A and B are shown apart, each in its own frame.
Chain A
Amino acid sequence: MVAVQETVEHVRRIDVDQYRYGFETLIESDKAPKGLSEDTVRFISAKKNEPAWMLEWRLEAYRRWLTMTEPTWARVDYRKIDYQDIYYYAAPKPKKTLSSIDEIDPEILKTYEKLGIPLREVAILEGVEPPPGGEQAPNRKIAVDAVFDSVSVATTFQKELKAAGVIFMPISEAIREHPELVQKYLGTVVPTSDNYFATLNSAVFSDGSFVYVPPGVRCPMELSTYFRINERNTGQFERTLIIADKGSYVSYLEGCTAPQRDENQLHAAVVELVTLDDAEIKYSTVQNWYPGNSEGKGGIYNFVTKRGDCRGKNSKISWTQVETGSAITWKYPSCILRGDNSSGEFYSIAISNGFQQVDSGTKMIHLGKNTSSRIISKGIAAGKSQNTYRGLVSAHRKATGARNYTACDSLLIGDKCGAHTVPYVEAKNSSATFEHEATTSKISEDVLFYCLQRGLSEQQAIGLVVNGFAKDVLQKLPMEFAAEAQKLISISLEGSVG
């Protein structure tokens, strides 16, 4: 039997495509009983030492969820999810309050090291060029919140952020320590009743990040959260809430990975952003969940609700995403342009290979006067994958002077994949100017041959061409993410031809 097992492991290793993050960390974990019930919700709430109002909020969401049905409008096709066959809570053991990073299970630290995530308080990127003419640039720092399965294991740079008045902590702690802020904003952008997956998340979310930037403060460093699903049969339901108060600015990065599993795992997150007058949030994601193997087995089901509310005048929210992983992606980071003169941006690179199915895009809801939005979407489909851009741009009756520019480009690699563009436009206001451009192209034989003639391998050539195709969006990423994203794009397209 041992030999058989070894063979299986060996085959799996060969078969694992190019997913670099597919390792599993062997740690003991503390799980809720399998399945979903009011008891599960109570269990999670109790684990987190939540106040009564939070439990009530969750239970209300849970009861609401029971009355809802899973949406089917997206162009994705997957086996029905058995919501009773999932663990809704898993925490690394032993669980005790950690006062410093040194108390974290070394296995977990090692995991994050393998992922290249700086959990130690190190100033990274010392090689950054100083600004032209300026003296040595201050070392760029990134504060990291790392979420492992259901709990946040470390948040770095707490002290420095505190000095600036920035609150950056696991949302579970924020619920206890800043209940007034959480209560004021939680669920105000994505209401508990918003959609099936968001409602589920509201009932069972376990952790995630909370950020509050006080008025007039420019957050002194990039904030970052890394999500990692480690446990088998476990769902991850994180919840992120970011509030940029008047005249403040914050840039936030989110990265995700998961081990390779033969079974599908559910990830249903909710992210809410709020900008008050003159504030700005820049939110960047590099999503690299396990996409499943070359036969389409396993992989993450990624059903995510991300929405930003430009609540104040002149405020701005910018979403940048690089989506390379997940078996199924269902995700539409959106902006509600409520404040006058507010603006929203959505920059996206969505890559699908193998049997991946991506249905992603954005919604720009223009409510205030003179609001503007910009959408640049680059969809890249390879293998037998399906890649859909779905976008809504709407202008309310009162939203005079609303402007939108949308450019949707799709690139096909090979002839067994599909790219689709589904734009919805609703202008209830004659002063709105909405522009939409869309292109679909294939990597041409001539371009490939030209590259090969110059000595590049087919993989290198595709990586180069695709990175060129996606350049407009890559340039929007913070520097340290851009390099990583470029590599990721090449890796995720390995085996896409021939």
Chain B
Amino acid sequence: MTLLEIQDLHVGVDSREIIRGLDLMVNAGEVHAIMGPNGSGKSTLSHVIAGKPGYEVTGGQILFRGEDLLEMEPNERAAKGVFLAFQYPVEIPGVTTMNFLRTALNAQRKARGRGELSTPEFLKKVREVAGSLNITRDMLKRGVNVGFSGGEKKRNEVLQMALFEPSLCILDEIDSGLDIDALRIVASGINGLRSPERTMIVITHYQRLLHYIVPDYVHVMSKGRVVKSGGKELALELEACGYAQFETAA
């Protein structure tokens, strides 16, 4: 079943076109990697799927389970199951991570017509996942991402991904700023969430991550377009030859 269908998408910022006719089809349960050099528009694509304001969609469409995603508010998209792990997660001072998680989880459950979790149920769930990601209780008591290291921020993103049970996960450079141990923890957390009901789009600049999260498909992005698609071996080819060959193609 097609979960996400992007057709001839054009997106501009300040009247400069950044996504320039992008197509992408993703089926339920698949893992797709999007690779591309810096500035090729990967983050922009992820923001537009999630509904960040400030981008002008000048053409094309994005369908999510056949519904027009671009018509929905960002929180509606989240409730429908779209989750974005940010390349640069923000800090929210004074709001404890625990409080944030609970407020967000309950908001999503409510939107999906489910009741709120009781405090013990919630705590049990959070502690379970947090433990597997090496997230300490102290971190959960701190302000959201406040004083977190780069790796801690990324683990906090994966923690949320596990809690909210999304059907589409977009991971924007989840590997950036991680040392090898942190990368293993994050990747194993993500792999644990792979399931036939869950689709992942893994955005990365480097092949390294794809050793740990092995994708079904790889797409190469350059200058706002998908310029080549293939199986997981495409990533290896990229590692060997670099992006230069595609720069001209775009």
In the complex, the answer to whether B104 meets A451 with C-beta atoms within 8 Å is yes
Binds B, one of A78-86, A354-362, A464-472: A464-472
- Check B95–A465 contact: CB distance below 8 A: yes
* Complex interface: chain B residues within 8 A of A467 (CB): 94-95
If A456-B103, A456-B104, A460-B107 touch, does A450 touch B95 (CB 8 Å cutoff)?
Answer: no
Write the chain A residue with the least CB distance to B110. Answer: A455
List of B residues within 8 angstroms of A454 by Cβ: 78, 100, 104, 107-108, 160, 164
In the complex formed, the residue of A with least CB distance to B75 is A452
B104-A455 in contact (CB<8A)? yes
Contact with B along A445-487 (1 / 0, CB 8 A): 1110111111111101000110111111000000000000000
- Return B108 CB to nearest CB of chain A, in Å: 4
- Does B93 lie within 8 Å of A455, measured CB to CB? no
Question: Is the Cβ of A456 less than 8 Å from the Cβ of B75?
Answer: yes
B21 within 8 A of A: no
Closest residue of B by beta carbon distance from A452:
B74
CB-CB nearest in chain A for B52: A449
Q: Does A139 belong to the interface (CB within 8 Å)?
A: no
Query: A469: shortest Cβ distance to chain B, in Å?
Result: 6
Checking B53, B99, B108, B143 against A455 with a beta-carbon cut-off of 8 angstroms, the contacting residue is: B108
A464 near B103: Cβ-Cβ < 8 Å? yes
Q: Binary interface profile of B, 66-77, with partner A (CB < 8 Å = 1, else 0)?
A: 000000011101
B111 within 8 A of A: yes
Over the window 83-113 of chain B, the binary record of Cβ atoms lying under 8 Å from chain A Cβ atoms (1 yes, 0 no) is 1101001101111000110011101100100
Bound-state Cα–Cα, A472 to B93, Å: 11
Let me know if A464 and B95 touch, CB within 8 A.
Answer: yes
> Who on chain A is nearest to B73 by CB?
A452
Q: How far is the CA of A246 from the CA of B138 in the complex (A)?
A: 42
Note all chain A residues with C-beta closer than 8 A to B99: 464
Which of A452, A464, A469, A470 is the one whose CB lies under 8 Å from B78?
A: A452
Distance from B103 Cβ to chain A, minimum over Cβ atoms (Å)? 6
B50 at the interface (CB under 8 A from A): yes
Known contacts being A455-B75, A468-B143, is A460 close to B103, with CB within 8 Å?
A: yes
B192 at the interface (CB under 8 A from A): no
Given the complex, which residues of B lie within 8 Å of A450, measured CB to CB? 86, 89-90, 92
Instruction: Give the residue name and chain of the B residue nearest to A465 (CB).
Output: B92
Is residue A430 contacting chain B, with contact meaning CB distance below 8 A?
no
Q: Tell which of B53, B84, B90, B111 touches A447, judged by Cβ atoms closer than 8 Å.
A: B90
Most A CB atoms within 10 A — which of B53, B75, B105? B75
Residue of A at shortest CB range from B84?
A: A453
Q: Is A444 an interface residue (CB 8 A)?
A: yes
Which B residues have a C-beta under 8 Å from some C-beta of A?
A: 50-54, 73-75, 77-79, 83-84, 86, 89-90, 92-95, 99-100, 103-105, 107-108, 111, 143, 160, 164
Q: What 10 A-B pairs come out closest when comparing CB atoms?
A: A468-B94, A468-B95, A455-B108, A452-B74, A454-B104, A471-B94, A455-B78, A455-B107, A452-B75, A450-B90
Besides the known contacts A449-B53, A456-B103, 12 further A-B residue pairs in the complex with CB atoms under 8 A apart:
A445-B53, A449-B52, A449-B74, A450-B92, A452-B78, A453-B52, A454-B164, A455-B75, A455-B78, A460-B103, A465-B92, A472-B94
